[in-house]
Structure 1
Amino acid sequence: MPFDHNPQDPQSPLVTHGMADIEPGLRLHYVTAGQGERTAVLLHGFPQTWWEWHRVIGPLVQNGYRIIAPDYRGAGHSSRPAGGYDKQTMALDLHRLLHEHLGVHDPFVLVGHDIGLMVAHAYARQFRDDVSHLVVMDAPLPGTEVFDRVRTDPRVWHFAFHGARDVAEMLVAGREREYLQAFFAVRNSDPSAIGTHDFDVFVAAYSAPGAMRAGFELYRAFDQDAADNRAALKRDGRLTVPVLAVGGVMSTTGALVEEMMREVAEDVTGAIVPGTAHWIAEENPQAFVDALLTFTEESAR
């Protein structure tokens, strides 16, 4: 497994790997760590895998959490089906994983970064009683006014490029390393935050057959996601679960995440993580963990 736990990396967490059959043609890979009474579920973004969280898993375990970090549909070791990349369907994947395979029945902290933010929001919408706290990190949410504004920003040109079916695949095929290198480089505040091993993990994952196509399909579902989110907001109103809206200081969307979440949720706390752009969990993992712990402790009082 070329993009798994690296025992030579001192920051590599001690995790247990698992695979779950979710439905015919779909298996999800996940890692777990810790035996704490509280559970935190961590959802990565594009172009990453569960490995995005390797610097925060240990500190969260030390603070009493059981961690579950899946590779969502299409990513990492999980299956890459042809469809199902709308975020409501991906949230259903996660629900089956947690309830039917991992026996998670008590409310948990749900954390989503980038595409994972969109899946986490869809999960909290559909399964409100499952989520004690929602933590969303540095991405625009389809169906919000903020998303519509950000979508026209030239700095998010990749939304349109990824949406060009077949063309994006044709131009990136065989150039995955070069494309991912450019993708990471323009969205960080510290080029050393995602080191050589980290980058190789993601390159190996997205060089696999069908992996980039699956990644692009996440973006091609944005119009459906927007329609789903608007319909859910109109039908059910804003979320009532406590929300921590996290942004990076140098990120395109960092200053907008709190404003965006106030469109869809009632109880929103904003946090800007110093020394970060988009890759918050790698660029300043301790500050992110501190913000999460403070949020969950204060909102539980």
Structure 2
Amino acid sequence: MAYELDPRFSHHMIDLDEVRLHYVRGGDGPPLVLLHGWGSTWYMWRKVISQLADHFTVIVPDLRGLGDSGVPEKPLTGYDKKTVAQDIHQLVEKLELGPVHVAGHDHGAAVAYAYAATHRDEVRSLVFCEMALKGVAGDKGIEYFMDQRDELRLWHLSFHAASRVAEMLISGKEREYLRWFYRMQMYNLDGITDEDIDVYARSYSGPGGLRLELYRAFYQDGIDNAELSKTKLTIPVLALGGANSIRDLCVSSMEAVADNVRGVVVPNCGHWLPEERPAEFLESVQSFLKEVPA
């Protein structure tokens, strides 16, 4: 069955200083911004936004250059997480939302941290899901995450970061590559269906649609995060990891940069947590947000 967007939500486009962003908005209450990672678009949050909209004004953008953002001209640069976070900050300012809760998955989690660390008085809480923050992970620093051993399932980081090679090899086979990419990191294989893969493939198959510059920015992200982490976050932070993915690395990343961290490792879950285990995701996030001071 084709996905139908909750009628409380609607699609929008907005012009910012450097980019044009697509976002979905719905619900009522304190603002909550949801940020996707690579391989995803706003669509990754489809299983949780209706429940969140019962209590929050939910803003779900496509990051610069991904999904429907930047169409038809997708920017070639600006994929370090501080710059992407500035896009989201401009979006929030233009929508006059005030202090926000920010949640991110994968690269979107790194963007969410950069947002919280560069606009400290404008973020009420941070949800950091299925990402290890580059530059601050102690003995599991950037070199660890570029390790190509099969048992770590992280060789794709180096492949994606190689200049233009990945695009050359994936071009024309985006759907096949994405299907493998999801399955490689998934515990619950029904979390992303063939119909869902069709949705993602349409976004990632267009000219410039892969936007692997997000990976090529990792070393700059590490430098930026090391500097930002010199002053720890004081806002409440929830760190979520899948037990069959990076587990508690989310927690250790956040404990390195924040004082008030709650960690949850979700059982029987791979990388795609909001899609594989939406009920568990909602339970953790909603109980966390209820305790954030108004």
Higher-helix-fraction structure: 1
Aligned to 2:93: 99
After TM superposition, list the pairs within 5 Å mapping 1:56-67 onto structure 2.
Answer: 56-62=48-54, 64-67=55-58
2:204 counterpart residue number: 206
8 Å Cα contact 1:13-1:54 kept in structure 2: no
Correspondences of 1:257-296 after superposition (within 5 Å): 257-296=250-289
Answer whether contact 1:275 1:283 (CA < 8 A) is retained: no
Aligned residues: 284
Residue from 232, 242, 253 that aligns with 1:238: 232
Q: CA RMSD in A?
A: 1.5
C-alpha distance in 2 between matches for 1:67 and 1:297: 15
* CA positional deviation for 1:248: 0.5
Match of 1:77 among 68, 71, 82: 68
Residue aligned with 2:16, SS: strand
Shift of 1:13: 2.8
Task: After superposition, give the CA deviation of every residue in 1:197-232 in whole Å (9 maximum; x if it has no partner).
Answer: 2111101000011011x1x10000011111111122
Counterpart Cα distance in 1 of 2:253 and 2:90: 28
3-state SS of 2:250 partner:
helix
Q: Which residue of 2 aligns with 1:39?
A: 31
TM-score by length of 2: 0.93
2:195 to 194, 197, 218: 197
* Equivalent residue, structure 1, for 2:162: 164
- Report the CA distance between 1:299 and its aligned residue: 3.8
Match of 1:112, SS?
Answer: strand
- Which residue pairs with 1:21 in the alignment? 15
Paired residues of 1:274 and 1:284 also in contact (CA < 8 A): no
Q: CA deviation at 1:153?
A: 5.4
- Aligned partner of 1:91: which letter? A
Partner of 1:217: 213
Structure 1's unaligned 5+ residue stretches are: 1-5
Pick from 106, 111, 114 the counterpart of residue 106 of structure 2.
Answer: 114
SS in 1 for 2:223: helix
Pair 1:127-2:139 in alignment: no
Q: Does the aligned pair in 1 maintain the 2:103–2:127 contact within 8 Å?
A: yes
Provide the rounded CA distance (Å) in 1 between the counterparts of 2:238 and 2:141.
18
Matched, 1:136 2:134: no
Give me the whole-angstrom Cα distance separating, in 1, the residues matched to 2:166 and 2:53: 39
Residue 289 of structure 2 aligns with an amino acid whose one-letter code is T
**% identical equivalent positions:** 41
- Tell me, yes or no, if structure 1 residue 150 matches structure 2 residue 141: no
Cα deviation, 1:19-76, whole Å, max 9, x if unaligned, reads 111125x200000011x221110000111100000000011112x1110000010110
Distance 1:299 1:49, change over 3 A: same
Q: Which runs of 4+ in 1 moved over 4 A?
A: none
Partner of 1:248: 242
Query: Could you tell me which residue of structure 2 aligns to residue 229 of structure 1?
Result: 225
Are the counterparts in 1 of residues 240 and 263 from structure 2 also a CA contact under 8 Å?
A: yes
Report if the CA contact (8 A) 1:245-1:268 is conserved.
yes
Q: Deviations over 1:176-197 (max 9, x none)?
A: 1111111000111111111122
1:89 is the counterpart of 2:83:
yes
Structure 2 Cα separation of the partners of residues 128 and 96 of structure 1: 15
Question: CA offset at residue 300 of structure 1?
Answer: 2.8
Unaligned ranges ≥5, structure 2 = none
